[in-house]
């Protein structure tokens, strides 16, 4: 039992050491088809939530539909900048409705314990994303301040 626990801990540590930045993972997955992305995400969920085969197939179908839907609705940066406030509101509202529907479907697929774990995992991912964003913002502010100081000393 102790050896199994220590082996599991060693595996977790090695995985965390080799964990990649979210942006790097997205860049690598950029060329993947929706089916490939859905397969990878489903397998990760199987590992973290211990899904049954029927749950696995349902989650795969749900993820595949979500990925295809997002890909179809993705707008270019220029198109997003040209949206009016009403259009942005409608898009945000539609996105939130899709998230609510996805969450409800996941609730129907997973049992209570799995659903709670899935929610914790999502919350952890959101917090990590938020932390990275704040870190980047602070770094950008430092760079701007440094450039301003440089300009002041030149004059």
Reported as a single tens digit per residue, the pLDDT across 52-73 is: 999 999 999 999 999 999 888 8
pTM summary value: 0.66
117 plus 101 within the same structural domain: no
Structural domain ending residue among the three candidates 88, 108, 128: 108
Reported as a single tens digit per residue, the pLDDT across 115-141 is: 999 999 988 888 887 777 777 777 777
Q: How many domains does the chain have?
A: 2
The predicted model gives 10-35 an average pLDDT of 63
51 plus 86 within the same structural domain: yes
36 plus 104 within the same structural domain: yes
Domain range spanning residue 99?
32-108
CA–CA separation, 52 and 46 (whole Å): 8
39 plus 56 within the same structural domain: yes
Instruction: Examine the pLDDT at 105 and tell me if it is beyond 90.
Output: yes
CA–CA separation, 138 and 131 (whole Å): 11
Residue 15: inside a domain: no
């Amino acid at each position: 039992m102790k050896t199994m626990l220590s082996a599991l801990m060693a595996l977790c540590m090695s995985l965390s050491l080799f964990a990649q930045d979210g942006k790097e993972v997205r860049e690598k997955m950029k060329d993947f088809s929706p089916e490939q992305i859905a397969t990878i995400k489903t397998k990760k969920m199987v590992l973290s939530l211990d899904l049954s085969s029927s749950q696995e197939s349902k989650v795969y179908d749900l993820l595949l539909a979500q990925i295809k839907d997002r890909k179809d609705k993705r707008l270019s940066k220029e198109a997003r900048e040209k949206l009016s406030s009403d259009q942005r509101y409608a898009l945000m509202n539609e996105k939130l409705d899709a998230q609510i529907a996805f969450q409800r479907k996941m609730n129907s697929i997973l049992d209570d314990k799995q659903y709670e774990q899935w929610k914790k995992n999502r919350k952890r991912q959101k917090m990590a994303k938020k932390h990275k964003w704040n870190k980047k913002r602070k770094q950008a502010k430092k760079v701007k301040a440094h450039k301003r100081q440089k300009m002041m000393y030149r004059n």
